[in-house]
Amino acid sequence: MKATAVAPSNIAFVKYWGNADPRLNIPFNNSISMNLSAAQTRTTVEFDPAFTGDTLVIDGRPVIGAARTRVVRHLDRIRALAGTDNYARVVSENNFPMGTGIASSAAAFAALSLAGTAALNLDLSEREMTALARQGSGSAARSIPDGYVELKAGGGHTTAFAYTLFAPDHWDLCDIVAIVSRREKPVGSSQGHGAAETSPHFTTRLAELPARLKTVRQALRNRDVQALGEAAEADAISLHVVAMTSRPPIYYWAPGTVRLIHAVQEWRRDGLPVYFTLDAGPNVHLICEAEHGADVLGRLSQIDEVIETLVSGPAEGAHLTDDHLF
Ligand code: PMV
C-alpha cells in the first residue's frame, strides 16, 4: 500500500487560463507544454488502515491548512476510485530550490496521482491518469505523458486528457527560468482561472487560440524556434492582458520581468534566437535551442535583477520508482 513517483514540472507554450467547468478543472482551451528536466517532484504515498488522518510533509516540513486540504481532496478522488477509506501519509520532495517561484503544482499533482493510484493497485491508462491529475491541477495533466504534451480541453472529464505530441528526444529545446523575485505571488492560478471570464479580452484570447495551437504543433514538428517563440510570447502576453484586465485585476510582473522582456528583444536584434514566456508569476522563462543555452546564461549573469537561474531540457513524464522517501 506504498508507492513512489517522480514527476516533472512543465512550461506551456500555449497556456491554460480559465475553466469551462471549475468543479472538474475542465479548461476552456487546449494547451501545449514541454516537461522540464530540472524541476522534478518525488512523492511517496502510503495508505494504512491504522492511520487516523491524512498527513502531508513537503521538503521536510509538515503542511497544514489550504495546501493540505487540496491534497486531501485529491486523495479522496483516488480513494473513491479504489473504494477505500484508508487514510494516507504523503511525503514529497522537490529537487529544485524552494522559493524559486517555479510552479510546483503540476509536478506535485502528477506525482501524487501516480503514486497514490499505484499504492492502491489501481490500473489506470495514461489517458485516465492525466484526467485524474487534471482534477488536482490543470497543468498537472501535462506532466504525466513524456516530452512535448498537449492537454485537450475536451469538454468532459474523460475527454479532457493529455497526450504526447513529440518524445523528449525530438528536439533539444532549452528552458532557462530567470528568477527575478522570490516574493510569494499575491494571487494563485486557481483564483486567476476564476477571474479570467471577467476580462473583456478573454473572448479575444479564446478566438486566437485555434490558430496559435496549430502554429505551435507545426513549429514543434518542424523544430522551428522562431515560429514557436513568437507564438509562445504572444500567448503569454495575451494571458497577462486577460489577468491585468480581470476584475479584480491581477498584476504578476515585477520590475525584473519587464527588464528581461526588453533584454530578450535586444538579444534577438543581436542575432541570438531566444524567446520568453511567463506563467502566473514574475519569473521569466527563456526558450532557445540547447546550442544557445550558454550564451543566454552568460547574458543573464550580467543582469542585476536576475537572482538565480534554472536550466531544463525536455523530460519524460511521471514514472514510478522504488526509491521511497520513507
Ligand atoms: O495548473 P494551474 O491551475 O496551476 O494553472 C496553470 C496556469 C499557467 O501556468 C499560467 C499556464 C499553464 O498552462 O501552465
Ligand 1 pocket, residue 15 CB under 6 Å: yes
- In this predicted structure, the answer to whether residue 184 has a pLDDT above a threshold of 90 is no
On the question of a cis peptide bond just before residue 248, with omega within 30 degrees of 0, the verdict is yes
Ligand 1 pocket, residue 12 CB under 6 Å: yes
> Beta-carbon neighbour count of residue 156 at 10 Å?
12
Quickly state the pLDDT bin for 96 (edges 50, 70, 90): confident
Helices and strands (H and E) in the chain: how many? 8, 14
- In this predicted structure, the answer to whether residue 324 has a pLDDT above a threshold of 60 is yes
Average pLDDT, the chain: 96
Instruction: Write out pLDDT tens, residues 2-29.
Output: 999 999 999 999 999 999 999 999 999 9
172-186, 190-204, 218-232, range with the lowest pLDDT = 172-186
Q: Which residue reads 514538428 in cell numbers? A: 221
Predicted TM-score (pTM) of this structure: 0.97
**Predicted pLDDT of residue 102:** 67
Q: Give the span between the Cα atoms of 299 and 269, in whole angstroms.
A: 14
| Nearest protein Cα to ligand 1, atom 8 | 279
Ligand 1 pocket, residue 235 CB under 6 Å: no
**Predicted pLDDT of residue 303:** 98
**Predicted pLDDT of residue 104:** 80
Contact 254, 174 (CB under 8 A): no
Residue 275 CA to ligand 1 centre (angstroms): 19
Q: Give the span between the Cα atoms of 5 and 130, in whole angstroms.
A: 14
- In this predicted structure, the answer to whether residue 319 has a pLDDT above a threshold of 80 is yes
Query: pLDDT: is 111 or 184 the higher one?
Result: 111
- In this predicted structure, the answer to whether residue 173 has a pLDDT above a threshold of 90 is yes
| Nearest protein Cα to ligand 1, atom 6 | 139
Instruction: Write out pLDDT tens, residues 101-160.
Output: 566 899 999 999 999 999 999 999 999 999 999 999 999 999 999 999 999 999 999 999
Contact 318, 3 (CB under 8 A): no
Average pLDDT over residues 162-181: 97
| Percentage of residues in the chain having pLDDT higher than 90 | 94
Ligand 1 pocket, residue 110 CB under 6 Å: no
